[in-house]
Amino acid sequence: MSVTYDELGHQIPPLHMSNLKSDGVRAPNSFGERLRVLRARRKLSQLRLAEIADTTPRHISFIETGRSRPGLELVQRLCKALELNISEQNILLTSAGLPINYIPYRPNGENTQLLANVVEAVLTSHDPYPACAVDTRAQILFENTAFQRLFPGMSQRSPEQSIDDFFASTAIRKRIANWSELAWAFIDRRRFEVARSGDPKLVELTERALAHMQDVRRPEESQDSRLGSMVMYPKLVIEGKIYSTYMTVLRFEGMVEAALSDIRIEMIYPMDEAADALFHRLAR
């Protein structure tokens, strides 16, 4: 059976349509459930978490089972103990009925231009290799020239349209030789984000993607796929030839600009001289 891993290198069991609502793509719906998921992701026992957060294992157990409701001070200590980024902290605070501690990214918010300047500088510096910036729902927010050239029109698509394009479009499947491997990796990443964010819209989008995969077999584990969603290896078909690349993800996890923690930059690099020459030729 194939094994995949989340962005932190933790094992994710395979997804199947039959367990989508049970132990597959399901957002934690309470503070206790989210705390348990986050604690398991950090591989901490209730005892160890209690020690770090300066509380008792009994209290942690009561919180996770819903028998106790934590206050703001304890939630803040738990966030620190779990080393949560800003988005995760605010999800945990919200699920506990507490106010969030930052203003999240909004397309028309005051911090939009600052965010755009930072992200566009990163994307521009990555040319002639393709790169794009997406939010947690895989909505493309920014793209560089190389990405536009390779996947024209993608940034104008809604998340639902992007899902249908990637999972159902014959043109996309022909463009990526190892499409099924990348498609399953995409679904695994979405499930990781569901557990991370508890976003019901993301559950809906992941179900939409999985519906396209009912007749697509999950590839066997390979040396390349062991890194899961941390690094993927698209094999691009261009002008009838296959070019090997790898794609990695850049995240902003700092506290200074809160909006950046909701965005990731996906960057494609050439694996060999042939792919490198191709990207430079396309840029010319």
Q: Domains of the chain by range and CATH?
A: 4-95 (1.10.260.40), 112-283 (3.30.450.180)
Residue 188 has pLDDT above 90, yes or no: no
Compare 90 and 144 and report the one with higher pLDDT: 144
- Answer whether 0.75 is exceeded by the pTM: no
Span between the terminal Cα atoms of the chain, in Å: 44
Q: What is the pLDDT of residue 9?
A: 42
Instruction: Answer yes or no: are the C-beta atoms of 229 and 192 closer than 8 Å.
Output: yes
Residue 2 has pLDDT above 70, yes or no: no
Q: What is the pLDDT of residue 190?
A: 82
Extract the tokens encoding 212.
């396209």
At 26, the pLDDT band (50, 70, 90 cuts) reads low
Region 200-204: what's the mean pLDDT?
82
Other beta carbons within 10 angstroms of residue 113's beta carbon come to 9
Instruction: Answer yes or no: are the C-beta atoms of 201 and 26 closer than 8 Å.
Output: no
